[in-house]
Amino acid sequence: MKKSKIQNPKSKTPKICVFDSGLGGLTVVRSIRERLPGAEILYLADTAHAPYGEKTHDEIRRYSLEIARFFVEEQKADALVVACNTATSAAIAALREHYPDLPIVGTEPGIKPALSATQTGKIGVMATPATLAGEKYQALVDRLCGMQEVELFERACPGLVERIEAGEIDAPETRAMLEGWLSPMRSAGVDTIVLGCTHYPIAAEAIRQVMEVPVRLIETGEAIARRLATLLGEQPAEAPGHLRIFATGPIDEAAVERIVGEKVVIDRIDR
């Protein structure tokens, strides 16, 4: 694969480009804005191809490279965030090979912080089928779970991303799905659940209600924001940063506003 060099010099105000298949990556954007409030952030929701969790790795890799080309060549990105566990597993190696000079931060399930947080040694993992089946996730589990005695309760959650995208978190059908995935964790005494998809924090309150007992939910947005601050340097916020959002297909604008805390104009693009 031909490598593309980054020609644009790093700007004083970093331009951080973030993508996911839909709304989920906005939970990562929220954490980045808290950590780097002066940064310019461009977000692309690839809703035309959502959900990624049920696509093949070759398809996800192709979508990811097309999005990266848009960000690098057309938008002059200073950093790229793959705000999707599934796309990270399928495509981050290809992205780093293609853009070796660009800081690229991926997303992986928060197994390590979960190991620090659990008191019972029983940890739940909710993720898409593609994430749980991926080599990257399996390697992470093998490496970290050998460090201490722990029991993992892994649950693939097909259909949950679509429910979240449709704004149906509180629908009876969604609650029934969550009950099916979470009741074994509740019965086993799981006290920490890894949210292995960036969409899932949007359903955090519903997950807590179904669990019925106090539970620590681990999401990865804060870790990504810390990594960006390390790569780009802590930037003084002389003025609030700008957020621009693109979508390749239909998107729930009201949900976007709820997640980011403000009304944002969404540009429709064809990829």
Q: Cα-flanking dihedrals φ and ψ of residue 13, to 5°?
A: -95, 115
Separation of alpha carbons 235 and 12, rounded Å: 9
- Which sign, positive or negative, has the C-alpha torsion 209, 215, 218, 222? positive
Cβ neighbours of residue 129 under 8 Å, at least 6 residues apart? Answer: 53, 54, 156, 158
Q: In what order do the strands lie in the sheet with 104-105?
A: 104-105, 79-82, 15-20, 40-45, 243-247, 266-268
Query: How large is the angle between the packed helices 253-260 and 26-35, nearest 10 degrees?
Result: 30
Residue 84 bears catalytic tag? yes
Task: Spot the catalytic one: 17, 84, 145, 157.
Answer: 84
If DSSP codes are grouped into helix, strand and coil, which group holds residue 76? Answer: coil
List own/partner pairs for 134-137 with CB under 8 A and 24 or more apart.
134/57, 134/86, 134/89, 134/90, 135/89, 136/88, 136/89, 136/108, 137/85, 137/89, 137/108, 137/109, 137/196
Burial class (CB in 10 A: 0-12, 13-18, 19+), 30: middle
- Whether residue 36 contacts residue 236, with contact meaning beta carbons closer than 8 Å, is answered with no
Residue 17 bears catalytic tag? no
| Token couple for 260 | 């980011």
Give the residue numbers annotated as catalytic, written as ranges: 84, 197
